[in-house]
Amino acid sequence: MNDTQELAPETLAIRAGIERSQFGEHSEALYLTSSFVFDNAAQAAARFSGDDDGNVYSRFSNPTVATLQTRLAALEGGQACIATASGMAAILSLAMATLKAGDHIVASYGLFGSTRQLFANQLSKFGIDTRFVPTTDLAAYRAAVQPNTRLFFIETPSNPLTEIVDLAAVAAIAHDAGALLAVDNCFCTPVLQRPLEFGADVVVHSATKYLDGQGRVLGGAIVGPKAVTEEVFKFLRNAGPSISPFNAWVIVKGLETLKIRMEAQSANALALARWLEDQPAISRVFYPGLPSHPQHELAMRQQKSGAAVVSFEVKGGREAAWRVIDATRMISITGNLGDTKTTITHPATTTHGRITPEARAAAGITEGLLRVAVGLESVADVRADLARGLGS
Ligand SMILES: *Cc1c(COP(=O)(O)O)cnc(C)c1O
């Protein structure tokens, strides 16, 4: 199943990248091995020189990992994919592969906390500076460009405020600047949004989230043109932020149900968001699938639906927000998302707790803000669990 062009996405999610072994197993095999053996010395030499593209060592190639890479590239509509140990390993690998000292990144404020810290605190030590701009302000992206700008990095919808970045517009600004546009497609997955179709050059994933979908393993991926993934591969081969074949296998099996999970979790999120809007204890609901979202129309142009993360601001700041969390009996109190189990988190004191208060304010993360990543339970049960702490 490697000639995948004409197949529907739900078929690709189940069939792309299968390489059966001599045993003819039906389900994808798990090749849990660190290295591979050669028939003879000449083959070993050819493998190491690259003349023979067979496997050598699982730091840089493994058949189970290859299945994941082929499948995800097909789903995103990209030329190639490199899987990594985590989402952050993917973002680091992309930066190391495409940037050098003296280069400049333009990134949105509305980024995952660790992405922001990686850019602001780690890459800066190696002479790569980042200018963070208001997530939805196209003029600010344009104004942030410098002669040495090489990479634009955005998330849409953003975490946790679900701000929408106009993909086509930012792609045009990046390309005018001679830079690549990379999009963290964690929240939508290729089921709901395919950034490459809107002009993005590269998609990165935390496969830890919806691609696995059941909160079991860490993983990440970079999808894009071979010119980029080949550079990423060189970094992976030498630096080793590689995914375990076991984790890759779990994610491969997760992809098979991605479409039905994303559609069902997104429908649950919309139902929950509508109910939250009616609660007097809540001052604001952030969900791209609601007509009240300031960028609802743009979201519906880029995304098939609003996705599964709903954030909302309760009246009464941190105390009221923590009360909602502490009154839950079913919803999992955890920073993770992208699980069949609904999760709740207070971004200001958890996922976004380490950034400066000024940066937090600029990103719009208030003390009353809560983020719910809606799972596959009955929406009525999720509602009842939240209603207790909201006094509704
Ligand atoms: C979780 C997450 C990451 C980081 O992924 P890990 O797999 O935890 O390293 C990056 N971006 C977004 C949007 C995330 O939610």
Q: What is the mean pLDDT of residues 169-184?
A: 98
| Banded pLDDT at 353 (limits 50, 70, 90) | confident
What domains can you pick out in the chain, each with its CATH number? 9-255 (3.40.640.10), 258-390 (3.90.1150.10)
| Banded pLDDT at 392 (limits 50, 70, 90) | confident
Ligand 1 pocket, 204 CB below 6 A? no
State yes or no: pLDDT of 1 exceeds 60: no
| Banded pLDDT at 351 (limits 50, 70, 90) | confident
Residue 4, pLDDT score: 54
Please tell me the distance from the alpha carbon of residue 67 to that of residue 326, in angstroms, as a whole number.
42
| Closest atom of ligand 1 to CA, residue 220 | 7
- Ligand 1: which of 209, 211, 352 to mutate, judged by most atoms within 8 Å of the beta carbon? 209
Ligand 1 pocket, 241 CB below 6 A? no
| Closest atom of ligand 1 to CA, residue 89 | 9
Report how far ligand 1's centroid is from the alpha carbon of 222 (Å): 13
Residue 391, pLDDT score: 86
State yes or no: pLDDT of 57 exceeds 80: yes
User: Burial letters for 316-325: b for 16+ Cβ neighbours within 10 Å, e otherwise?
Assistant: eeeebbbbbe
pTM, 2 dp: 0.94
**In DSSP terms, which residues pair with 153 in a beta bridge?**
107, 182
Ligand 1 pocket, 155 CB below 6 A? yes
Ligand 1 pocket, 220 CB below 6 A? yes
How does DSSP assign 148-207, residue by residue? Answer: TEEEEEEESS-TTT-----HHHHHHHHHHTT-EEEEE-TTTHHHH--GGGGT-SEEEEET
Residue 25, pLDDT score: 92
| Banded pLDDT at 6 (limits 50, 70, 90) | confident
| Closest atom of ligand 1 to CA, residue 115 | 10
Ligand 1 pocket, 87 CB below 6 A? yes
- Give the residue with greater pLDDT, 288 vs 50: 288
Report how far ligand 1's centroid is from the alpha carbon of 160 (Å): 12
Ligand 1 pocket, 208 CB below 6 A? yes
Structure confidence by residue, pLDDT tens digits, 310-332: 999 999 999 999 999 999 999 99
State yes or no: pLDDT of 194 exceeds 90: yes
Closest CA to 74 of 20, 180, 3, 26: 3
